[in-house]
Structure 1
Amino acid sequence: MTEYLIDLRQLEIIRALDQFGSLSAVARHLGYSQPAISQQVQTLEARLKTPVVIRGRRGVELTEAGQVILRHSTAILDTLALAQEEVSAVAGLRSGLVRIVAFPSASATIVAATMADMTRLHPGVSFTLTEAEPPKALELLESGQCDIAVVFRYGTDEILPSESFESFHLLDAEMRVAVPVSHPKANADFVALDDLWDSRWIAGCPDCSGHLVTACLQSGFTPDIAFETDDYVTLQTLAAHGLGVALLSDLALAAVSVKGLLVKALTKSDTQRVCALTTPGLSRVPAVQQTLKIMRQAASSLAKDRDEKAKSS
């Protein structure tokens, strides 16, 4: 580590000496005693092994070495003041950047509402949003390429290592079966997965598809997957056109409503747990901390709306 011979207090003294021309005036300006100012000047000269001021009848003047320090002190002190001002703005949520990675249906619901509320409450905070499924989102968070990762997991998935990330539960999304109006189960209130053993299926992202296969195997059959797509809008549209049935979360259904698609509750509850992840260090950054708070509120509001609709239907 570089050992600096000049400290910030001495830079301030040199700049004040050039401005006021006397030790007593500098002492009054900076709020120190005159002996303290003299001591700082002597210490600086001893470290640099050269005089920085000349004391004469007309007061104190800077030597050539003192002029060099003065020239650089202005830039250093002004830059430091600007840095302190910018840090204060970040700490006070007057500025800041939060990088979010989320899977598509969370982006269109929880994250969209979060960014809108944050922009209204803290207009100086800006955001970037990248869409990625959980494995990629975790990779981006671990490599420092994002601040918050919104991910999901099913009951059969491995629990994330708690020492690597801080996890904030957002909501539990119920899994539903989506069928076209022409399907034999179109009039049923509840559907068991094994009732659909002979149906064609439309699967989602790799994690979603893996969960579909696992759930169907647990119900005694292997699903006939006709189509696979990462786009939940395309998935629902294919199902609405009678090309298959789909297993979807409340979150995906809240993000978009497709005409001609009927949503059925499962006889055996199945949930998708949605969480926001960050690192222990990032969770203390004011903009990230506030974003996580607003995100939990947005998720709670979404869950409340879902429950109220379920009661009224």
Structure 2
Amino acid sequence: MAYLNVHPQLLQALRTVLDTGSLTAAAERLGFTQSALSKQIATLETAAGTPLVRRGPRGVEPTEAGTRLAARAATILDQLDAARRELDDAAAPLDGRLALGGFPATAMELVPRAIARLRADHPSIRVGFLESSTLVQIRRLRAGRLDLALIAVGEGLPEYDLTGIELDRLPAGRLLVAVGRRHRLARADRVTVDDLAGEDWVAGRGGRSEPQFGAWPTLTGARVVAELGGWAARLGFVAAGLGIMTVPSLAAGILPADVVAIEVDDPAWTGRTLSLARIGALTPAGAAVRSALITEASAIAARSRPGPADQHRR
């Protein structure tokens, strides 16, 4: 019986290529040249005895064999990560160590503030943070790679399989629209969806399993002028007056000085919820992390947006 005996890096290479849909983007993410990454994929295909990817009109696409192997590779890589953690724990008992995951918007203010609070109140607790999409976090929770995960569920997001996962709902605040300080709406306290019609929009861009903030969710016929992978790039376009964008309240407190966040009156938008996910009982360290996250999420959600005059004096 023949076994697929390959280095885990080759499986990671395949996963990243399929996730990004591009050899160039995958090489940048992994820190390799495109040539080196192509050789890794070729080595894996040789070991597998069948083609795993093919170049299509929209970039690199998986073959049937590639799709099946990538699904197995995700489980294998997560199990290896979990094994590494267990070995580390055996050498140095946890004693307050915990792995937390969150989607990118949580890393802008909520997670840093919560970790800083923990360091002040419970210096023996050490939190490692992994940023990824909700779908990836759910997989890592099941694999034991994460102890806690901040996930978003609700309108416009996939229906994730949350079987066996316990959720604690956190205050999330409202979805907002961000505009440049010289934009015609910048001095408004609140706007309606009709006020947003005809605007140019800056949207997020990510991997296939990573939902992004686009134009206002209930606005029809929105014109997207730029799709950018990072928050800094998107906000840079907005600050320069090249478009507007949707932002969660989680990000409103650290917007650039040239960007203003505005509330939107939209009865059609049912919203999303921010939850802290886990499998099994909370450890004492986990309970402390949850408490810090709830405290900081509450403060962020309760923070009132300054009035137009105050915004322009800031």
TM-score range, shorter chain: 0.5 to 0.7
Residue 299, structure 1, aligned to residue 297, structure 2: yes
**Distance in 2 of aligned mates of 1:309 and 1:285:** 39
Asked if the contact 1:177–1:191 (Cα under 8 Å) also holds between the matched residues in 2, the reply is: no
Alignment of 1:156-175 (within 5 A): 156-157=156-157, 163-175=163-175
- The Cα shift of 1:159 comes to 6.0
Cross-structure match for 2:39: none
**Distance in 1 of aligned mates of 2:184 and 2:108:** 31
**Distance in 2 of aligned mates of 1:308 and 1:236:** 18
- The Cα shift of 1:191 comes to 1.9
1:204 corresponds to which letter in structure 2?
G
Cross-structure match for 2:230: 231
Q: CA RMSD in A?
A: 2.9
Cross-structure match for 2:13: none
Q: Deviations over 1:127-170 (max 9, x none)?
A: 21111122222222122211111112333546655542111111
**Distance in 2 of aligned mates of 1:126 and 1:180:** 38
**Greater fraction helix:** 1
Asked if the contact 1:249–1:272 (Cα under 8 Å) also holds between the matched residues in 2, the reply is: no
Of 114-123 and 165-174, more deviation after overlay is shown by 114-123
Task: Name the CA shift for 1:285/1:239 in 2 (closer, same or farther; >3 Å).
Answer: same
Cross-structure match for 2:192: 192
- The Cα shift of 1:108 comes to 3.0
Alignment of 1:1-313 (within 5 A): 95-157=95-157, 163-205=163-205, 206-209=210-213, 212=215, 214-216=217-219, 221-254=220-253, 256-268=254-266, 270=269, 271-279=271-279, 281=280, 283-304=281-302, 306-307=303-304
Asked if the contact 1:232–1:252 (Cα under 8 Å) also holds between the matched residues in 2, the reply is: no
- The Cα shift of 1:234 comes to 2.1
**Distance in 2 of aligned mates of 1:229 and 1:121:** 38
Runs (5+) with no aligned partner, structure 2: 1-88
**Distance in 2 of aligned mates of 1:275 and 1:182:** 35
TM-score (norm 1): 0.60
Asked if the contact 2:176–2:262 (Cα under 8 Å) also holds between the matched residues in 1, the reply is: yes
Task: Name the CA shift for 1:105/1:121 in 2 (closer, same or farther; >3 Å).
Answer: same
- The Cα shift of 1:259 comes to 2.3
2:277 corresponds to which letter in structure 1?
L
**Distance in 2 of aligned mates of 1:116 and 1:292:** 13
- 3-state SS of the aligned residue for 1:142? helix
Asked if the contact 2:173–2:300 (Cα under 8 Å) also holds between the matched residues in 1, the reply is: no
- The Cα shift of 1:272 comes to 3.8
- The Cα shift of 1:298 comes to 2.0
Of 199-208 and 169-178, more deviation after overlay is shown by 199-208
**Distance in 2 of aligned mates of 1:274 and 1:242:** 30
- The Cα shift of 1:199 comes to 1.6
Query: Which has the higher Rg, Structure 1 or Structure 2?
Result: 1
TM-score (norm 2): 0.60
- 3-state SS of the aligned residue for 1:136? helix
Task: Name the CA shift for 1:232/1:149 in 2 (closer, same or farther; >3 Å).
Answer: same
Aligned length: 214
Asked if the contact 1:150–1:275 (Cα under 8 Å) also holds between the matched residues in 2, the reply is: yes
- The Cα shift of 1:213 comes to 6.5
Of 264-273 and 288-297, more deviation after overlay is shown by 264-273
Q: Deviations over 1:213-260 (max 9, x none)?
A: 6422xxxx2221111224222212210101111011111112x22122
- 3-state SS of the aligned residue for 1:123? coil
2:251 corresponds to which letter in structure 1?
A
Task: Name the CA shift for 1:189/1:119 in 2 (closer, same or farther; >3 Å).
Answer: closer
1:241 corresponds to which letter in structure 2?
A
Task: Name the CA shift for 1:116/1:184 in 2 (closer, same or farther; >3 Å).
Answer: closer
Asked if the contact 2:249–2:300 (Cα under 8 Å) also holds between the matched residues in 1, the reply is: no
